[in-house]
């Protein structure tokens, strides 16, 4: 086989050289242009005819057992050169190698003879890559029973998840619709009550101005006996609140009985001052030898020094502990004391340390009674969070502090009543021990209604009361005795 290469500045001149050298029946193998020069590879017609059909008994006529994948598939195309050179030969890109295949069946070589209609058709046939047979489709892998069961279970789980998401969204929409209907019905009901029973509106204004929640006010007004005027209704409300405010009748249950008491609560509610006031009462009743003070506040600078100063004034030793082990050892050493008061570190109700503190006090191998200090100046939502955070296994009681700073005390009394806490003392100052008093339910309820008397008729308008009562869903259900 004698393949010759012809180069020329233009395609016309290169084809002329091919015709002059190999004749008009030459076979053009490739045509490409590089750096402004046209290069044509051509083969004589006789050589191409000898390659088109192999001998019957030659090795090329037998099917090849395997195909070398490292080399591209052979491409052989032929075309006759027209004697006409009037038309310029279009630019042709070099032939593209056929993609490799895993296995190809043997394909006999054929001689492609282009028609003499046009030169462009011949050149396109000469440069086009040989068509490869389509790859045989692979058979789908067979699945055993376990794989089929796994696919079915995955489909069922996906369907369940989708159904759960849709059901959750639908339930949320139903709850929203229910809330809207309850709000509108409650607003209509309170609007009718306001027009039909004006004395209930007057009592409602009094309770809201005193700081009580709309939940407690709504519950009591619904239980209000019929046939009463505004003054009698308000007296009935005060009587019910007084009966449901649990207090300590006398100090004997706390001072004379003795035990281990821990004052807990958030930072700044007056735990250390209240501890000093209780310590002074115990010293005046039983003497300094029957009392012991323990502090767990090792975080604040000088926190234990404040209690040490109170202990030095009272003649009582103050012990400092850091963890549950130290507290267990200290309580074991002080088991002969009549009363032990523990001043704990102030922790926010949203801090994880609240749970650790409650666990430390409960695991001290002693019956530690926890007294929660409630700040009377805080809001109802804040006080409710404090009670829920420090509740733990149960609170022995609570002490209401900073009554002298509170503009209204109904909010604190409301939380004590709704959570059914036992109110031991109220604190209204910093003096030790004068500003610590036993809780008097009747006095506290009466004071709650007197503090905000001037805001009774100005805090809420008549049109706002039905909307306020219908939208109060933040408080839990109220159950009074």
Residue-level pLDDT at 215: 82
Assigned domain for 214 exists: no
Assigned domain for 463 exists: no
Pairing of strands 368-375, 397-401: parallel
Q: What's the rounded Cα separation, in Å, for the pair 184 and 21?
A: 103
Q: Tokens 């530690």, residue?
A: 368
**Does one domain contain both 288 and 421?**
yes
> Taking the model in full, what pTM does it have?
0.56
Assigned domain for 231 exists: no
Q: Which CATH number belongs to the domain containing residue 267 in this structure?
A: 3.40.50.300
Flag residues of the chain having pLDDT under 50. Answer: 66-71, 73-135, 458, 473-477
Assigned domain for 20 exists: yes
Assigned domain for 289 exists: yes
Residue-level pLDDT at 416: 92
Assigned domain for 355 exists: yes
Taking a C-beta distance cutoff of 8 angstroms, is the pair 218, 187 a contact?
Answer: no
Q: Note down the domain range covering 283.
A: 246-438
Q: Of all residues in the chain, what percent are helix, strand and coil, respectively (each to 5)?
A: 45, 15, 40
**Does one domain contain both 118 and 250?**
no
Assigned domain for 136 exists: no
Q: What's the rounded Cα separation, in Å, for the pair 90 and 66?
A: 38
Residue-level pLDDT at 183: 65
**Does one domain contain both 257 and 402?**
yes
- 211 phi-psi bin (left φ>0, alpha ψ -120 to 50, beta other): left
Number of domains in the chain: 2
Residue-level pLDDT at 401: 92
Assigned domain for 194 exists: no
Residue-level pLDDT at 80: 45
């Amino acid at each position: 086989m004698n393949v010759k290469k012809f180069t020329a500045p233009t395609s016309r001149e290169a084809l002329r050289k091919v015709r002059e050298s190999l004749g008009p029946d030459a076979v053009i193998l490739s045509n490409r242009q590089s750096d402004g020069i046209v290069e044509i590879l051509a083969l004589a017609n006789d050589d191409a005819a000898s390659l088109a059909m192999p001998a019957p008994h030659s090795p090329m006529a037998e099917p090849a057992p395997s195909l070398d994948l490292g080399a591209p598939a052979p491409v052989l195309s032929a075309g006759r050169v027209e004697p006409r050179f009037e038309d310029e030969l279009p630019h042709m890109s070099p032939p593209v190698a056929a993609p490799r295949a895993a296995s190809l069946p043997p394909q006999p070589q054929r001689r492609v003879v282009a028609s003499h209609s046009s030169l462009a058709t011949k050149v396109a046939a000469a440069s086009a890559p040989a068509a490869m047979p389509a790859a045989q489709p692979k058979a789908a892998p067979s699945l055993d029973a376990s794989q089929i069961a796994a696919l079915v279970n995955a489909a069922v789980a996906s369907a369940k998840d989708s159904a759960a998401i849709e059901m959750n969204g639908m339930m949320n929409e139903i709850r929203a619709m229910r809330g809207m209907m309850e709000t509108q019905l409650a607003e209509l009901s309170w609007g009718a009550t306001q027009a039909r029973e004006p004395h209930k509106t007057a009592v409602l204004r009094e309770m809201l101005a005193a700081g009580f929640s709309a939940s407690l006010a709504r519950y009591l007004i619904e239980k209000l006996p019929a046939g009463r005027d505004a003054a009698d209704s308000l007296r009935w409300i005060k009587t019910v609140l007084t009966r449901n405010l649990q207090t300590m009748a006398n100090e004997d249950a706390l001072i004379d009985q003795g035990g281990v008491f821990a004052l807990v609560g958030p930072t700044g509610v007056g735990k250390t001052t209240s501890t000093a006031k209780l310590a002074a009462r115990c010293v005046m009743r039983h003497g300094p030898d029957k009392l012991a003070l323990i502090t767990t506040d090792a975080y604040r600078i000088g926190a234990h020094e404040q209690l040490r100063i109170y202990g030095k004034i009272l003649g009582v030793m103050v012990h400092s502990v850091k963890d549950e082990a130290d507290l267990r050892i200290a309580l074991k050493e002080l088991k002969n004391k009549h009363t032990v008061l523990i001043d704990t570190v102030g922790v926010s109700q949203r801090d994880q340390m609240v749970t650790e503190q409650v666990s430390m006090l409960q695991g001290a191998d002693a019956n530690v009674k926890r007294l929660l200090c409630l700040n009377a100046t805080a809001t109802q939502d804040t006080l409710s969070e404090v009670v829920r955070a420090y509740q733990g296994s149960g609170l022995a009681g609570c002490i209401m502090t900073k009554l002298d700073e509170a503009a209204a005390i109904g909010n604190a009394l409301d939380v004590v009543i709704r959570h059914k806490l036992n109110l031991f003392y109220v604190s209204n100052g910093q003096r030790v021990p004068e500003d610590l008093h036993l809780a008097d339910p009747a006095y506290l309820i009466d004071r709650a209604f007197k503090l905000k008397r001037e805001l009774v008729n100005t805090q809420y308008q008549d049109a706002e009361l039905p909307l306020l009562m219908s939208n109060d869903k933040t408080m839990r259900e109220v159950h009074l005795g």
